[in-house]
Amino acid sequence: MEVRFVRDQRSGLVEEIIALRERGAPGSSRQSVCQLCGALATTGGWGGALLLRAAGEFVARDHDHGAVDELYALLQASPRRWCAWCQQPIRVESRSGAGDTAKIGGGRLCAGCQAAGRAALIDQESQARHLRTLSTRQLRDQRDRAERHVALATTAPSRELAAVRLALRRARRGLQETVRIH
């Protein structure tokens, strides 16, 4: 019974973090499906987005598929892509990359997932996949940071208070460093 409670608690934390991100809290890490091999890979920040734009479809950097300039040829030669939701293989025309799929960001959805209306939910799902890989403690830390960010961003007095606290912390740190020097 305790295992179920922990699983429910973790699911609740994942939902809270995603809701806070929708309200403006930072967080860019996701788990996306590599379009060359179909395996999940964690992406985050500017580097993951750069490869996504360069290849036109998401290809994981850490899967060793080759150099970026080789990815174009590999993608064009491959008659298969992978559904971003269910990870099932999708057949596409190798030259044009077209097929009976919906292209979403750097991934695709199979006909079944398209029909189920999952296109609107793919961003949340890719965030949730990444968050589910974190420990309960890491999830709590992420939630706490996201809550602080949203609280500070929504109230002007809170922003001023945070600025004052930061200035005091920096001043105290500066005094401590001065004392150590002398």
Compare 40 and 169 and report the one with higher pLDDT.
40
Give the residue-averaged pLDDT of 93-121: 75
In a domain, 159, yes or no: no
| pLDDT band at 55; cut points 50, 70, 90 | low
As a dihedral over the C-alpha atoms of residue 30, residue 31, residue 37, residue 38, rounded to 10 degrees, the angle is: -130
Q: Is the pLDDT of residue 73 over 60?
A: yes
In a domain, 176, yes or no: no
Treating both helix axes as pointing N-terminal to C-terminal, what angle do 156-181 and 136-154 enclose, rounded to 10 degrees? Answer: 110
Condensed to tens digits (0 to 9), the pLDDT of residues 136-165 reads: 999 999 888 888 887 777 666 656 677 777
Cα separation, 106 vs 104, in Å, equals: 6
| pLDDT band at 120; cut points 50, 70, 90 | confident
Cα 83 to its chain centre, rounded Å, is 17
By DSSP bridging, strand 89-91 and strand 30-33 are unpaired
pLDDT value for 54: 54
pLDDT value for 52: 56
In a domain, 157, yes or no: no
In a domain, 23, yes or no: yes
Provide the number of structural domains found in the chain: 1
Task: Name the one residue in this structure whose structure tokens are 């993951």.
Answer: 48
Domain range enclosing 11: 2-136
In a domain, 171, yes or no: no
Q: What secondary structure, in 3-state letters, does 115-143 show? A: HCCHHHHHHHHHHHHHHHCCCHHHHHHHH
- The 8 Å CB, 24+ separation contacts for 62-65 are 63/34, 63/36, 63/37, 63/39, 65/34, 65/36, 65/37
In a domain, 9, yes or no: yes
CA angle at 70 for the pair 67 and 74, rounded to the nearest 5°: 125
Which DSSP helix (H) or strand (E) runs through 104? strand 102-104
Instruction: Kindly list the distances between the CA atom of residue 112 and the CA atoms of 88, 116, 118, in Å, as whole numbers in the listed order.
Output: 10, 6, 9
Question: 12, 30, 2: which is closest to 140 by C-alpha?
Answer: 12
